[in-house]
């Protein structure tokens, strides 16, 4: 089963109430690929980096079966750089710096060997580049999932609306769902957004879990209550990687299977936040993932006798 992942590979500087790091590996496609590689063998990456992106990180990704043929290396420019500061609740953050650098003239090219892929994960990136990748695929993938953020709603809303018409699943957080729809109620927001194109909508609510909407159905996946959240950066992308990785592995894109997939996404995200950057994602094994999934089952399992 094949999966293309598209997005940024970056450096991040992060401040949380509990610590600060100046320059660590980040980027939407980095997190997506690390998470998805736990479920499927060949993750076909499309991204761009500058001269400063570490070769050992590229090697680490290759070791996990992530194919880097679609990752362009620009010899005379810096990699994308993002910096953010988290509020005390760790659920909200302010973007301090977004330096596009190599992204400024990124023109993603889908390698010939990626054609015919069945799953496409469009990680957070300029909407017009997400659209360009869809348009280059000669056969439409079975499932197209798109992640985006308020930054693109602010500066490229028309492009975002154009790409929304072409996708199956949209992932946003609660604030972004409200911004995109103009509705305060998330149920109303979901209806408005699904009218813009996607048949499925996932609204992420940080430590309060995620909602999956489809037609008149809604399903809720909790986030695992953790004693310590170290760094939430990349949790959304990791969620996305777990979600689509699981769907690609099971080859089933029904609403029923998506319910399990958002639990898997939540489980993967719960690892991501335990350390700065994608470090924790590199340590975990299948046994760790299985154990965490059973914690989720315990979390939501209950008996009730309706009288």
Piece of the chain touching ligand AMP by CB under 6 A; list 23-31, 112-120, 133-141, 242-250: 23-31
CB of 147 to ligand AMP, least distance (A): 8
Can you spell out the DSSP letters for 8-67? --EEEEEEETTEEEEEEEE-HHHHHHHHHTTT-S-EEEEEEE-TTS-HHHHHHHHHTTEE
For ligand AMP, which residue has the nearest CB? 26
State yes or no: residue 27 binds ligand AMP (CB under 6 A).
yes
Of 251, 270, 169, 279, nearest to 213 (Cα)? 169
Of 34, 7, 11, nearest to 278 (Cα)? 34
Backbone angle region of 13, left / alpha / beta, with phi > 0 → left and psi within -120 to 50 → alpha: beta
CB of 28 to ligand AMP, least distance (A): 4
State yes or no: residue 86 binds ligand AMP (CB under 6 A).
no
Window 105-124: residues binding ligand AMP (CB under 6 A)? 124
Piece of the chain touching ligand AMP by CB under 6 A; list 25-33, 159-167, 219-227, 259-267: 25-33
Inter-helix orientation angle 127-136/157-164, to 10°: 30
Window 236-255: residues binding ligand AMP (CB under 6 A)? 236-237
Place of tokens 């991501």: 272
b/e map of 96-129 (b: 16 or more CB within 10 Å)?
eeeeebbbeebebebeeebeebbbbbbbbbbbeb
Q: Distance (Å, rounded) from C-alpha 126 to C-alpha 147?
A: 11
State yes or no: residue 266 binds ligand AMP (CB under 6 A).
no
CB of 306 to ligand AMP, least distance (A): 39
Q: Distance (Å, rounded) from C-alpha 3 to C-alpha 167?
A: 15
Window 64-83: residues binding ligand AMP (CB under 6 A)? 82
Task: Kindly state the number of chain residues that form the binding site for ligand AMP, as judged by CB under 6 A.
Answer: 17
Pick one of 3, 4, 6, 10: the residue that binds ligand AMP (CB under 6 A).
Answer: 10
State yes or no: residue 169 binds ligand AMP (CB under 6 A).
no
State yes or no: residue 235 binds ligand AMP (CB under 6 A).
yes
In the three-class reduction of DSSP (H, G, I as helix; E, B as strand; rest coil), residue 295 is classed as helix
State yes or no: residue 127 binds ligand AMP (CB under 6 A).
no
As separate numbers, helices (DSSP H) first and strands (DSSP E) second, the chain gives 11, 13
Window 139-158: residues binding ligand AMP (CB under 6 A)? 149, 151
- Residue closer to ligand AMP, measured from CB, 81 or 213: 81
Pick one of 2, 5, 6, 12: the residue that binds ligand AMP (CB under 6 A).
Answer: 12
In the three-class reduction of DSSP (H, G, I as helix; E, B as strand; rest coil), residue 201 is classed as strand
Mark residues 28-67: x for contact with ligand AMP by CB under 6 A, - for none.
x---------------------------------------
Q: What is the number of other CB atoms lying within 10 angstroms of the CB of residue 179? A: 17
Which alpha helices (DSSP H) does 184-254 contain, by range? 186-194, 235-250
Applying CB under 6 A, the residues found at the interface with ligand AMP are 8, 10, 12, 26-28, 82, 98, 124-125, 149, 151, 233-237
């Amino acid at each position: 089963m094949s999966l293309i992942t598209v997005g940024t590979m970056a450096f991040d500087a992060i401040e949380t109430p509990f610590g600060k790091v100046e320059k660590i590996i980040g980027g939407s496609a980095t997190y997506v690929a690390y998470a998805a590689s736990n479920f499927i063998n060949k993750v076909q990456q499309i991204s761009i980096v500058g001269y400063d992106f570490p070769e050992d990180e590229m090697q680490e990704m290759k070791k996990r079966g992530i194919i880097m043929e679609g990752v362009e290396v620009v010899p005379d420019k810096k990699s994308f750089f993002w910096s953010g500061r988290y509020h005390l609740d760790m659920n909200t953050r302010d973007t301090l710096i977004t330096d596009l650098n190599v992204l400024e003239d990124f023109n993603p090219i889908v390698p010939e060997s990626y054609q015919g892929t069945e799953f496409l994960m469009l990680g957070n990136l300029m909407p017009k580049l997400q659209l360009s990748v869809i348009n280059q695929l000669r056969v439409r993938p079975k499932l197209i999932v798109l992640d985006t953020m308020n930054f693109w709603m602010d500066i490229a809303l028309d492009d975002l609306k154009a790409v929304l018409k072409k996708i199956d699943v949209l992932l946003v957080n609660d604030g972004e769902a409200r911004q995109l729809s103009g509705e305060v109620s998330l149920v109303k927001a979901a209806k408005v957004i699904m009218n813009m194109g996607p048949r499925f909508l996932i609204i992420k609510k940080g430590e309060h879990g995620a909602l999956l909407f489809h037609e008149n159905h809604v399903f809720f996946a909790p986030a695992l209550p953790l004693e310590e959240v170290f760094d939430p950066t990349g949790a959304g992308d990791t969620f996305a990687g777990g979600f689509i990785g699981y769907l690609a592995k099971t080859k089933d894109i029904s609403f029923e299977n998506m319910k399990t997939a958002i639990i898997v996404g939540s489980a993967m995200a719960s690892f991501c936040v335990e350390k700065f950057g994608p470090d924790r994602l590199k340590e975990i094994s299948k046994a760790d993932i299985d154990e965490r999934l059973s914690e989720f089952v315990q979390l939501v399992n209950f008996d009730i006798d309706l009288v």
